Structure 1
Amino acid sequence: MQNLAGMARRNLWLADAMLLAVAIIWGSSYAVAKQALWFYPVLGFLAIRFGLTFALLLPQLRGAGRRAIRPGLPLGLVMLGIFLCETWGVMLTSASNAAFLISLCVVFTPFVEWAMVRQRPSKLLFAACALSLAGVWLLTGGAQMALNLGDGLMLAAALLRAVLVCLTRRLTADQQMPALALTAVQSGVVASGCLLLGLLLPEGLPALPQSPAFWAATLYLVGFATLFALYAQNLALGRTSATRVSLLMGSEPLFGALIAGVWLGERLGVQGWIGGLMILLATLGTLCFGRTQRPAGIERGANHSGCRPVLTETP
């Protein structure tokens, strides 16, 4: 009995450690993506990143994985919009702002669900929304508010992520399919869409970058921010509670701001930190006490965005 209890504690600590590592990785992804964009344009970068992800996950589309193709195509189009907004947003604003603003998808999701399925959010979620909006106001300048295009694109990406959550629930209800298979289809749609858009530009896409820094950043995002993160979520949700997972993963924006400061030399003033922490508190409040619902059809722990989880849903 003592051995079983000790093993359970070790499994819990291992799960927590893996999730904390994922939160740090996702926090670093904003700075890493910003660095990759120094060497190659947004459309080309996304085509390479998600093309590699699709190639690695292609074996998942055998057998039961084929069920993911039909819902994965429209969901992939939404995901394409998310990453176009998010990646251009990262390029045009600071990595720390991007990390905090994208976390608003957790607060937006219940309201999108309200609009789509008429499930009214709790009063606490309205309070969390007000707190997050006040945080955005402080983060982007307060009385001298200067919401730039990059910040606006990050807010659009957060809203689209919320749409993706609700649409995923609708399209995958009562269906059993491997989470990685759905991610494979979505990744293929994003890669194909970015490649097509890039080729339609008058100047086309430039030759593949030769910089080792670009390829290191891209492989890091594919290997760690997507594949390892999916594995860690699936493993951890089998060993700990969804609330505990959500609390650990909710620290991602904080790590994003810290890493952006160390790596890129970005600095948030006192007002910016207060605004960012208000957004983080609103997110954690939504995760812990908001009314959420797990989708029925996808394996527990699935990351429907292909990069980061929508925390109201899975982690």
Structure 2
Amino acid sequence: MPSVIAVLAAALLFGTTGTSQALGPGDTTPFAVGVMRLLIGGTALALVTGLAAWLRRRRAPSEIRPRLAAGPLALMAITAVCLFVYQPLFFLGTSANGVAVSTVIALGSAPVLAGLLEWALTRKTPGALWGAATALSTAGVALLGFGGREGGSADASGLLASLGAGASFAILAVAQRRLLDAGWHPLTVVGAMGGGSAAISLVALPFADVSWMSDPRGALMILWLGLATTTVAYALFTWGLGGLNAATAATLTLGEPLTASVLGIVVLGERLAPLAAAGLVVLGAGLALLAWGSRTAREPAIDPGTEAHPKPFAVEG
């Protein structure tokens, strides 16, 4: 039960990302918000997971750890770069098409694109259920694109940005899976991602206009995005995955696009055209089918303290 609560809480925190940015100062840019989010949240995430990993090693000093080589280093670098790229693309999408539409497109496309990438790398056929889920999800994205918000169709550049965010996270998720399959602990994987993305953000900081941080709304927004939706959410998500099977984790993370859509409509007053509303329903059905179809044969729950961990799913904010 604690693991279920942890993953669900992480999904709900991830789901507040777009709304938080929309409620911030009006002079922000997607690039600047993304840079500051990762500079704060990535640094704190690396520190928190580093401390947790140190405490774990003190309890198990004889634990066998994989050797750090060029391959794992490259995969860790890929996760950091993809997390960094995800930020401005995600916020550009929400600025162009609203939180409800763009978040569902970004988060809904990620698991589909991750499945395609894994198929391209392994040549393993995902299966009929995955194909049906992909078809439904693609149809839902198309309906959202043609329908958009009330008063007009969706902005094409915003749609491409949201799909780009989904693609960047799909690559990130596949790289994480390969690191975990190689024996790396989730704390190490997520800590390297956080620290690496923070380092990239530090290099990018001189090119970002962050004057809006002097506004109390801007400071509050970026602290929430950095500490709550990055540090706390990723730490909860990673810890919770250690005690859940794949099916449960995938189903719980559907709380993220649901939260984002509800907040966009209720808090920000976004109104969807009928065609876009139908697209949300179709895409939701595809995501639900994808979660149900991703179950393994009675995969047992795993002790968070062991080295065997389930693979992460491509659903994050």
With the shorter chain as reference, the TM-score category is 0.7 to 0.9
Among 48, 52, 70, the residue aligned to 2:40 = 52
Residue 90 of structure 1 deviates from its aligned partner by: 2.1
CA–CA distance in structure 2, aligned partners of residues 230 and 151 of structure 1: 26
How much does 1:244 deviate? 2.3
2:101 is matched with which residue: 97, 115, 131?
A: 97
Shift of 1:89: 1.9
When the two structures are superposed, what TM-score results if normalisation uses the length of structure 1? 0.77
2:93 pairs with 1:85: no
Q: Pick one of 137, 140, 143 that aligns with 1:138.
A: 143
1:1-315 equivalences under 5 Å are: 12=1, 14-36=2-24, 38-59=26-47, 60-61=49-50, 71-103=75-107, 104-142=109-147, 146-177=154-185, 179-197=186-204, 199=206, 201=207, 205-207=209-211, 209-290=213-294, 300=309, 310-311=314-315
Structure 2 residues not aligned, in runs of 5+ = 58-64, 300-305
TM-score, with normalisation over the residues of structure 2? 0.77
Matches of 1:172 and 1:300, distance apart in 2: 7
Change (3 A) 1:37 1:160: farther
Shift of residue 47, structure 1, vs aligned partner: 2.3
Q: CA deviation at 1:198?
A: 5.1
Residues in 2 aligned to 1:151 and 1:25: alpha-carbon distance in whole angstroms: 23
- How far did residue 275 of structure 1 move? 0.5
Q: Secondary structure at the match of 2:272?
A: coil
Task: Report the CA distance between 1:210 and its aligned residue.
Answer: 1.1
Count of aligned pairs: 289
Query: 8 Å contact 1:57–1:181 — kept in the other structure?
Result: no
Q: Which moved more, 1:128-137 or 1:284-293?
A: 284-293
Q: What runs of 5+ residues in structure 1 fail to find an aligned partner? A: 1-11, 304-308
- Supply the distance in 2 between the matched residues of 1:241 and 1:185 (Cα, whole angstroms): 24
Shift of 1:61: 4.3
Tell me how far 1:121 sits from its aligned partner.
Answer: 1.6
**Deviations 1:188-233 (CA, angstroms, capped at 9, x unpaired):** 333343443453x5xx635362112122222222232223323433
Distance 1:118 1:298 in 2: 27
Distance in 2 (alpha carbons) for counterparts of 1:173 and 1:236: 18
RMSD between aligned residues: 3.3
